[in-house]
Amino acid sequence: MDNLNDKKEREILLTAYVLGEMSPEEAFAFEKAAAADEELQEEVRAISEMAEFLSSALENEPFPPEEEVPENGLFSRVKDDLTDSPTPEMNLSGKKNRIRWSWKLAQISLVLIICAGGFLLFSARGFNWQIANNILSSEGFATKSMVFDAVPAAESPMEGPEVDGNLLEQDLEAESDESNSISLPNSPAVAESTRERAAGREFSPRASRKEKQRVFCLGPEAVDPSAIMMHPEVKEDFRVPEMRNSYEAVQEQKFHDPKEAPFSTFGVDVDTASFTQTRHFLTEMNRLPPPESVRVEEFINYFKYDLKGPEDKEACPFETTVEVRKHPWRDGLLMAMVSLKGYEIPRENRPKLNLVFLLDVSGSMSYWNRLPLVKDGMLKLLDSLSENDRVSIVTYANGTEICLEPTSGAEKEKIEKKILALEAGGSTAGGEGLQQAYALAKKNFDSEAVNRVILCSDGDFNVGMTDNSQLLSMIEREAKSGVFLTVLGFGMGNFHDDRMKMLAAGGNGNYAYVDSRAEANRVLVNDLTGSMVTIAKDVKLQIEFNPAHIAAYRLIGYEKRRLADRDFHDDRKDSGEIGAGHSVTALYELVPSGVAVPRNDFVDKPRYAPVEEKTAEEPSAEGTSEEVSPEWMFVKLRWKQPEASESTLKTFPVAVDSERLKDVPSVNFQFASGVALFGMLLQESENTGKSDFGTVLELIAPAIGDSESRKEFRELVERAGEF
């Protein structure tokens, strides 16, 4: 610590120490040097006291009842670093997020400003900067804190009340050791004590001003931060908004006996919203997602897989791949991976676009992760539009407004001005907005273009048509016009996932949740062709299992896409869509013949049950290999061309070589099964056996490669394991 005499280096070291950015060795050396420098001790004390004051003051600053406090905000980062205590949006254990260097620089700047002006500000308010009650003594540099009733802001909104010098009992007191090294406020001993208290502290809304508050005491005089920072007009009932998101709970798929239920029928799904919402919960809200928000198929289909597309797109718009291997986490069972890969359309060959953006500009969209993200994504999309494309903008709040008539993609400046001028305010007339957007899209319908409405909202419809059944009926009628729907969800706290999912399914569309600028770019720019250009609609999959080989089967996920077996041949029954280059993957858990079916609802076998007698017509389970078909399953696909009303059928059998079951699974299989297990664990599935998040990491490890999205997924799994 030879640089302590240099003013600039001294400031840097002081800041690094207070922010806890020194290594244990550096901190120890700094403390040893400071032990003999009273001036340095007082500087450290002043910075720490000011930081504590600022954190406490900001903690009591009111927020509107429904407002979300962004986890990546400056306040939460500074408070988190300086006090090591949980913010309202941290997890129960008080664990901190990793902090970007940009936030570090912001924190350093803040502390330097405090250093420059803190003494003048606080001395003017009558603070006693002397070391009270021998705080600095031969026994070390100790800290004190006190608890008292906060004085209501109405009594003295801008002046701090004087507090009697008889301090309450210290609850943070650092003890010195024989080496006469000092214990500064940021020393490991005090930090550990703080962390222990934080770990045991319950998650609760922001404290009201009447509640007991901890205020760092500089001496016999102290000030309640809330009395300084709050205005008498501020209401007392301020708190972190309650989570009022709405999801439609699903019942997990069960094992089925192919003798009783030979067919598994469902519609494909390329939605990804559930996965990105989970990412938002883990990274921004520091908590696990609600189990009912997890849809495993949307986890699986968020990622790209190395799959082969169709050689002849005229015969079939997608290629089907089936892989059967040993079950990754359940002994004795097998797993089948069934994948569809749509044909690719080069960006330069994509059809022209007729896009109507339907934007929710109500008051609930004013937060940083809502309308600002919508505008950012739309601005990025502009660079991908050509002069043949058309863009319209319809906004809705208290009412609806055509903000931008159909405009060529070449008029980028005109479109950009309209986007930048968007502001949020008012209630939410979502139903009326949908009607206006469809009317505009149909008025400018182009049979040679992709005609699509893109809804950007948090799904909170509270004016006009708000009933889900009415909305669904309207969407299904409008979908017959040839105008498809893309639903993009934004925001959290009062997010209506169930409504957004329903609208996308009824409108021949797809559903994604946008939690960041990167995700907006992925959906609206990188995946523009796949998201907007539909190559097949009403895609249905039906698999028949051979009971000679399969004792039971279970489809993982797709609970909301289940179809009755008779619906497979009914062209009136709506189903999912596949975009250009998109892939859809489904996983089945298979129980081979002769293996007990896993059950979680065992009951005793009836003691006096009648003995079942086989008839002459029933095949014997002990039949020879010549009597048993080598086919394990029979796959059937139905789909419609985007403009067609009648479907096309494709079928093929799947035979499994028992010896190949021992082969190493493909990278696709390894990663998809790991993603599925992750979703099932979050869903609190009863079919995860003894596996945990560590099992997920083991499964996906060989399949990470250089993929950034897969590396990010690994980090999410690790983060989930911390809760």
Query: What tokens appear for 4 in the block?
Result: 């302590």
pLDDT for res 528: 84
- CA distances for 588 relative to 211, 261, 319, 584, angstroms: 54, 15, 19, 14
pLDDT for res 121: 40
Measured on CA atoms in the order 107, 110, 114, 115, is the torsion positive or negative?
positive
- Asked whether residue 137 carries a pLDDT value surpassing 50, the answer given is no
What is the C-alpha separation between 718 and 326, in angstroms, rounded?
Answer: 25
Q: Decide: helix, strand or coil at residue 503.
A: helix
What contacts 556, CB < 8 A, 6 or more positions away?
Answer: 253, 296, 297, 586, 587, 588, 589, 676, 680
Task: Give the whole-number percent of the chain exceeding pLDDT 90.
Answer: 44
Model confidence pLDDT, tens digit, residues 38-92: 777 777 777 777 776 676 665 555 544 444 444 444 344 434 444 443 343 344 3
| CB atoms inside a 10 Å sphere around CB 562 | 15
| Residue 212 parent element (H or E) | strand 212-216
The CATH superfamily label for domain 352-510 reads: von Willebrand factor, type A domain (3.40.50.410)
pLDDT for res 60: 55
pLDDT for res 323: 96
- For residue 123, give the nearest of 148, 160, 166, 151 by alpha carbon: 160
- Asked whether residue 545 carries a pLDDT value surpassing 50, the answer given is yes
Is residue 605 very low, low, confident or very high in pLDDT (cuts 50, 70, 90)? Answer: low
Model confidence pLDDT, tens digit, residues 484-543: 999 999 988 888 899 899 999 888 889 999 999 999 999 999 888 888 899 999 999 999
- Asked whether residue 148 carries a pLDDT value surpassing 70, the answer given is no
Q: What is the DSSP letter of 523?
A: I
- Higher-confidence residue of 621 and 258: namely 258
- Asked whether residue 384 carries a pLDDT value surpassing 70, the answer given is yes
Per-range mean pLDDT, top range of 170-179, 455-464, 545-554: 545-554
Mean predicted confidence (pLDDT) in 537-565: 95
**Cβ-count burial of 706 within 10 angstroms (0-12 exposed, 13-18 middle, 19+ buried)?**
exposed
| Residue 122 parent element (H or E) | helix 101-124
pLDDT for res 155: 34
- Asked whether residue 216 carries a pLDDT value surpassing 60, the answer given is no
What is the dotted CATH code of the domain comprising 263-345+535-600+626-720? 2.60.40.1230
**Cβ-count burial of 628 within 10 angstroms (0-12 exposed, 13-18 middle, 19+ buried)?**
middle
Could you tell me the residue ranges of all domains in the chain?
2-229, 263-345+535-600+626-720, 352-510
Is residue 24 very low, low, confident or very high in pLDDT (cuts 50, 70, 90)? Answer: low
- Each as own residue / partner, the long-range contacts of residues 566-570 (CB below 8 Å, 24 or more positions apart, any chain) are 567/265, 567/540, 568/263, 568/265, 568/540, 568/542, 568/636, 568/638, 569/638
Query: What tokens appear for 170 in the block?
Result: 């210290």
End-to-end Cα, the chain, rounded Å: 39
- State the pTM of this model: 0.66
Is residue 211 very low, low, confident or very high in pLDDT (cuts 50, 70, 90)? Answer: very low
- Higher-confidence residue of 232 and 689: namely 689
pLDDT for res 12: 75
Cα 188 to the chain's mean position, in Å? Answer: 34
Contact 198, 86 (CB under 8 A): yes
Mean predicted confidence (pLDDT) in 538-551: 95
Per-range mean pLDDT, top range of 15-24, 65-74, 610-619: 15-24
Cα 63 to the chain's mean position, in Å? Answer: 23
Per-range mean pLDDT, top range of 243-247, 538-542, 623-627, 658-662: 538-542
CA torsion angle 308 313 316 321 (round to 10)? 0
pLDDT for res 458: 87
Least confident of 241-255, 283-297, 490-504: 241-255
